[in-house]
Amino acid sequence: MEHIFWLLNRSAGNQIVLAAEIEGETTLRAWRQALDALQRRHPLLSTAITLSSNGLPYFEVPSVQEIPLRFAADAMWVERAIATEWLDSQMADELAEPFDTESAPLIRAVLAHCEQRSVVLLVGNHAICDGLSLSLCFRDLLRSLNGEHLEPLPIPKSLDQLCGISTETSQPVPPGEGIQYPRDTPRVHRVKLSADLTERIILRARAEHTTMHGALCSAMVHAGWNASAEWREKSLRIFSPVDVRSVFGIGDDQCGLFLASSSVVIERNASESFWAVARQATQGLNVPGARGAICAQTQGQRKLLNSGLDAVGAVKIRQNALARDIMLTNMGRLRFQTEIGRFKLTSMWGPLALSGYPGDHTVGVATVEGSAHLTLASRSPLPSMLELAEVILIAASKDAG
């Protein structure tokens, strides 16, 4: 998986963005020290990707370079809260800024600071981390700010290693760049659902024999059908990454790339109720949680690489076999206490990642203090998509389907 993401980075920036709003008195120096402690804990946060003598990419720490931290002196605040437009634009700018994978580290941070509040953006290249890993990095940052020692961890195993798949037969990387997409800045928009609405959706989803994730998929599909005449005329494909940590007993300490993937096509049928579509999404996205199924998916990726997959081929696979209208990443409830000592994480936005080609709509969801936080990124966003989704969810939480 890391190898494929590295190939994709040759065509379009392959970075993940996650933002958090934090309460508690801090200083720029304290954040610098916390980032340094985070980097010492997680080995992949110090790496670059280089080619070995036999032409295969591997992680290397050429010399430890600190995580770049940009202090946003231009941050706009409204009544001690970060301005919506400012945070949206910062997330969009970071999504549009690729990493040079030959230069360490493959992570960076942005900090906005105001009295008792901080807003932090973590941006990581997808080859070294997934969205959940970045969320756990925020936990470690808060722990460090609170004076806790962060114990260094070993380099995490790849899915190839976890599945016992040999990489010795891999072919050297073919020369050449990928398909160069325009790197125009996407648009980012956010909506926070109330804790009451979030809980109502969860309870109704259970009663309807589906999940919160299924409900979110249905809301995005129906919002797209309502917002776009083009979308109303076609079926929609939803793609969802799936965390596999529990399958391999990895736990919630490691920062790495621990993902499988699944997709489902929702056929356009005006007679289908909201909850019928939610059930269809849940069933279609039911990625086998068994180790064997995940390893079979990983083995398929390895076979592609062994056949000489290059950057252009990786993009074509994404455009065809992995094509989607919507990518929905739902981290669910955060896997750590949001209050650590004198610090409290009050909101989390994302994770966001874009494929590079037009028409891709990425929705990242994180639930903090019982409220689902929805973030949308796209280079051609449908108008008011998240607001429409919220209205649809409100109605669905009241009506049987």
> Encoding tokens for residue 22?
């934090």
Tell me the sheet residues that pair with 269.
none
Instruction: Note whether residue 39 is domain-resident.
Output: yes
CATH of the domain at 29: 3.30.559.10
Residue 401 lies in a domain: no
Query: pLDDT at residue 387 above 70?
Result: yes
Q: Give me the phi and psi of 315, to 5 degrees please.
A: -65, -40
End-to-end CA distance of the chain: 38
Q: Which residues contact 168 (CB under 8 A, 6 or more apart)?
A: none
pTM: 0.94
What distance in Å separates the CA atoms of residue 141 and residue 338, rounded to the nearest whole number? 12
The region of weakest confidence among 53-67, 104-118, 162-176 is 162-176
Tell me the sheet residues that pair with 81. 78
Q: How many CB atoms lie within 10 A of CB 357?
A: 16
Q: Cα separation of 43 and 52, whole Å?
A: 19
Q: What is the distance between the alpha carbons of residues 139 and 335, in angstroms, rounded to a whole number?
A: 9
- Rounded-to-integer distance, Cα 172 and Cα 51, Å: 9
pLDDT band at 170 (very low <50, low <70, confident <90, very high): low
Mean pLDDT estimate for the chain: 89
Report pLDDT digits (tens) over 93-132: 999 998 999 999 999 999 999 879 999 999 999 999 999 9
CB atoms within 10 A of CB 260: 21
The amino acid at 71: F
Indicate if the pLDDT at residue 331 is higher than 70: yes
- Residues with Cβ within 8 Å of 76's Cβ and at least 6 positions away in sequence, in order, are 82, 83, 85, 86
Residue 371 lies in a domain: yes
Q: Which domain holds residue 131?
A: 2-396
Q: What is the pLDDT of residue 174?
A: 62
Q: Whole-angstrom Cα distance, residue 29 to residue 41? A: 19
Strand partners, 111: 71, 120
Q: How many domains does the chain have?
A: 1
In a domain? residue 217? yes
Ranking 24-33, 171-180, 267-276, 315-324 by mean pLDDT, the lowest is: 171-180
Q: Which residues have C-beta within 8 Å of that of residue 313, sequence separation ≥ 6? A: 7, 304
pLDDT tens for each residue of 18-46:
999 999 999 999 999 999 999 999 999 99
292 in a structural domain: yes
- In this structure, what are the phi and psi dihedrals at residue 237, rounded to the nearest 5 degrees? -100, 130
Is the pLDDT confidence value at 399 over 80? no
Strand partners for 113: 118
Q: Would the pLDDT of 401 be above 80?
A: no
Q: Side chain identity at 367, as an amino acid letter?
A: T
* Rounded-to-integer distance, Cα 259 and Cα 298, Å: 10
Answer whether 109's CB lies under 8 Å from 122's CB.
yes
